[in-house]
Amino acid sequence: MKSRFLCGVVILMLLAACGSDAPVLSKLSSDAVILAFGDSLTYGNGAKDDESYPVVLQQLTGRKVINAGISGEVSESGLNRLPALLDIHKPQLLILCHGGNDLLRKKDINKMEENIRKMIQLARARDIPVVMLGVPKPGLFLSSFEVYEKIAESTDIVFIEDLIPEVLGDNALKSDTVHPNKQGYRVMAETINSVLTDSGAL
């Protein structure tokens, strides 16, 4: 009951934050493929295979959602991996959640930003819209790292800023300090589903 209430609070907060000026997405066809791309937050560390946010999102949207998360991956490796996945799966939407391991390992922030921007460019070159999730700095689960907002504002993509910080800021929704649990991943999926609906994709 508590997690259901928290989920509602998070969704309402995020939808309010989107505002009327939020980017609009094209409606996804009934047979659309969504590519969920990222690291362990996408893969689903801290929960069973069928409890990751991409699996739950597929159930909610009725669209095929491919879990393309690799635990421990840094943004440079993700950038190298993404083009082939876009070409193979031809998704109608990319959900991008990357950079957390760069922050954990204290890698060059400018390079991380460049890599994420290039990921967005790769998708756009194929006419694939992007929804990006903000990731917080380790230990500071108050807001997503400021570079994500900078990227979102300059690229005009749909940006879900505080979802991961809110989930990881609640002990009932996380399996450890940097990963959600089953309930946390469901909150992620339900919130993303609501944002997709609000932006016109569903």
Q: Per residue of the chain (202 residues), what is the pLDDT tens digit?
A: 445 545 554 544 444 444 446 689 999 999 999 999 999 999 999 999 999 999 999 999 999 999 999 999 999 999 999 999 999 999 999 999 999 999 999 999 999 999 999 999 999 999 999 999 999 987 655 789 999 999 999 999 999 999 999 999 999 999 998 999 999 999 999 999 999 999 999 9
Count CA within 13 A, CB hemisphere, residue 95. Answer: 29
Flag whether 7 is in a domain. Answer: no
Question: How many domains does the structure of the chain reveal?
Answer: 1
Flag whether 147 is in a domain. Answer: yes
Flag whether 42 is in a domain. Answer: yes
- What domain range includes position 65? 30-198
Flag whether 11 is in a domain. Answer: no
Flag whether 23 is in a domain. Answer: no
Flag whether 124 is in a domain. Answer: yes
Going by C-alpha positions, the residue among 85, 155, 93, 149 that lies closest to residue 118 is: 155
Supply the pLDDT for residue 143: 84
Supply the pLDDT for residue 7: 52
Q: Positive or negative, the Cα torsion across 35, 138, 136, 106?
A: negative
Q: Positive or negative, the Cα torsion across 160, 135, 78, 107?
A: positive
Flag whether 174 is in a domain. Answer: yes
Q: Positive or negative, the Cα torsion across 71, 194, 123, 138?
A: negative
- Beginning with the edge strand found earlier in the chain, give each strand of the sheet holding 33-38 in spatial order: 64-69, 33-38, 93-97, 130-133, 158-160
Supply the pLDDT for residue 22: 65
Supply the pLDDT for residue 13: 47
Residue 95: exposure state from Cβ atoms within 10 A (0-12, 13-18, ≥19): buried
Flag whether 106 is in a domain. Answer: yes
Domain at 156, CATH number: 3.40.50.1110
Supply the pLDDT for residue 6: 52
Q: How far apart are CA 40 and CA 142, in angstroms?
A: 20
